[in-house]
């Protein structure tokens, strides 16, 4: 009886701690959201928590900040640019990584282990070491400041981690599946599409989350390879420009920041059921 009581108390304490940490983690985001809907005068004279004094007074909320940010400041165009950058910047490396991971896990060819170790070793190479040589190559090709440049950059930077995670997961699939497929006359390509892809959805979804969030939230890589070209500036660079030119307009900064983080939140919560399952499976198998 005492053991059961102690177990229940420990679980209750654990739940309380988790709730407190979750509330503390979400509090800045809630404050950012509330501030983004407040008029400039209210933002300048009181904190966001002041809205709880009159929680049902809709006069203290406005969408003018979002209208200004999206229409006049250019966040609408920057949001579209981030989509154009992030979608190919996620699909291309994840697709290549899935094929490469399958090859490293189940196809036998000379130098397989060495190439995989070399790929894993690329994880420790700092991005800053690659900026100058890659920028020179892009300059010679004439693609600096264009979308293909940032697609190629994010593909190269994202491939090592994506291949590593997917290879660990795919390598843990039962070998009997591939033996049966081979006996039935399935080619390696057919085995990939009919066996590997359906069974690897959790791992692929986890890699998609990682890659998409990294590309969407990237500032440094975009700044190096895109510069300040207005037609291709993503939301991260646009928000950075707002900080520089409108550091006093907190109501615009909060609205712009929430616009930039809205889509990553949607992507994460849409794929979260695959996230933990895929990462845990990829970390213990292989």
Q: What is the pLDDT of residues 126-160, one digit of tens each?
A: 888 999 999 999 999 999 989 999 999 999 999 99
The pLDDT of residue 154 = 95
- The rounded distance, in Å, linking the Cα atoms of 264 and 70 is 18
> Distances from the Cα of 104 to the Cαs of 94, 140, 168, 170, 249, in angstroms?
15, 33, 10, 9, 52
Q: How far is CA 221 from the centre of its chain?
A: 14
Structure tokens at 98: 């899935």
pLDDT of residue 284 exceeding 50? no
pLDDT of residue 282 exceeding 50? no
- The rounded distance, in Å, linking the Cα atoms of 156 and 134 is 10
The pLDDT of residue 286 = 41
Under the banding of pLDDT at 50, 70 and 90, the label for residue 212 is very high
Mean pLDDT for 13-26 is 87
The overall average pLDDT reported for the chain is 83
> Which of 19-23, 96-100, 261-265 has maximum average pLDDT?
96-100
Structure tokens at 137: 């190559």
Q: What is the pLDDT of residues 218-246, one digit of tens each?
A: 999 999 998 767 788 898 888 887 765 55
> Distances from the Cα of 55 to the Cαs of 34, 42, 182, in angstroms?
11, 14, 65
Under the banding of pLDDT at 50, 70 and 90, the label for residue 256 is confident
pLDDT of residue 249 exceeding 70? no
Helix axes 75-106, 235-245, angle to 10 degrees: 140
pLDDT of residue 7 exceeding 80? no
Which residue reads 């080619």 in tokens?
187
Q: Is 55 exposed, middle or buried (0-12, 13-18, 19+ CB in 10 A)?
A: exposed
Per the model's pLDDT, the better-predicted residue between 52 and 111 turns out to be 111
pLDDT of residue 42 exceeding 90? no
pLDDT of residue 280 exceeding 60? no
190 Cβ neighbours under 8 A, 6+ residues apart: 181
Per the model's pLDDT, the better-predicted residue between 211 and 73 turns out to be 211
- The rounded distance, in Å, linking the Cα atoms of 96 and 160 is 11
The pLDDT of residue 185 = 85
CB 226 within 8 A of CB 82: no
- Other C-beta atoms lying within 10 Å of the C-beta of residue 150: 28
């Amino acid at each position: 009886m005492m053991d059961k009581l102690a177990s229940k108390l420990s679980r209750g304490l654990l739940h309380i701690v988790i709730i407190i940490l979750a509330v503390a983690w979400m509090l800045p985001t809630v404050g950012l959201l509330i501030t983004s809907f407040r008029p400039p005068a209210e933002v300048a004279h009181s904190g966001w928590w002041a809205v709880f004094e009159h929680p049902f007074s809709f006069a203290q909320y406005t969408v003018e900040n979002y209208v200004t940010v999206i229409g006049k400041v250019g966040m609408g165009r920057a949001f579209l640019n981030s989509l154009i950058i992030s979608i190919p910047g996620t699909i291309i490396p994840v697709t290549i990584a899935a094929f490469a991971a399958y090859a490293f896990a189940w196809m036998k060819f000379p130098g397989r282990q060495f190439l995989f170790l070399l790929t894993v070793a690329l994880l420790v190479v700092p991005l800053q070491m690659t900026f100058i040589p890659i920028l020179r190559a892009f300059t010679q090709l004439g693609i600096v400041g264009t979308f293909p440049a940032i697609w190629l950059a994010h593909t190269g930077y994202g491939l090592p981690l994506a291949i590593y995670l997917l290879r660990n997961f795919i390598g843990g699939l039962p070998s009997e599946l591939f033996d049966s497929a081979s006996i039935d006359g399935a080619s390696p390509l057919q085995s990939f599409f009919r066996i590997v892809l359906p069974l690897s959805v959790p791992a692929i979804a986890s890699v998609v989350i990682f890659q998409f969030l990294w590309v969407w939230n990237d500032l440094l890589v975009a700044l190096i390879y895109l510069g300040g070209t207005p037609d291709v500036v993503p939301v991260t660079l646009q928000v950075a420009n707002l900080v520089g030119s409108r550091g006093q307009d907190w109501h615009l900064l909060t609205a712009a920041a929430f616009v930039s983080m809205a889509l990553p939140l949607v992507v994460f919560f849409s794929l979260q059921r695959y996230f933990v399952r895929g990462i845990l499976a990829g970390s213990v198998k292989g």
